């Protein structure tokens, strides 16, 4: 879980660095958003499982974290849309290293 969260952070920092330097961000921001939002979902599902029945109950914040993570896969561009846009960019431009 920590490794995927770290990887999300690295992807987001890469996009932010490109933006700060005035370079083309291309799909780097989408890579980061897609990976980070799916990591949030994957991580919080595991967190619910680790907590067992307590993880599922509304009295504990873990299930709310899971619902909140789901929004990241829907709002500001669903994961499906992110994948389509990334794929279109790859098919048009090929893979361009940052």
Residue 74 C-beta: closest distance to ligand FAD, Å: 5
Cβ proximity to ligand FAD, 21 vs 67, nearer residue: 67
Long-range contacts of 91-97 (CB under 8 A, 24+ apart): 93/26, 96/26
Q: Pick one of 5, 81, 87, 98: the residue that binds ligand FAD (CB under 6 A).
A: 81
CB closer to ligand FAD, 2 vs 91: 91
Residues 6+ apart with CB under 8 A from 26: 89, 93, 96
Residue with the two structure tokens 């992110």: 82
Site for ligand FAD, rule CB under 6 A = 71, 74-75, 78, 80-81, 84
């Amino acid at each position: 879980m920590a490794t995927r969260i770290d990887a999300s952070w690295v992807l987001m920092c890469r996009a932010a660095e490109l933006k700060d330097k005035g370079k083309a961000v291309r799909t780097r921001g989408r890579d980061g958003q897609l990976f980070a939002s799916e990591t949030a979902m994957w991580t919080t599902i595991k967190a619910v499982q680790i907590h067992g029945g307590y993880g599922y109950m509304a009295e504990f914040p873990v299930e709310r974290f899971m619902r909140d993570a789901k929004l990241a896969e829907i709002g500001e561009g669903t994961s499906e849309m992110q994948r389509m846009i990334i794929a279109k960019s790859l098919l048009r431009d090929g893979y361009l290293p940052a």
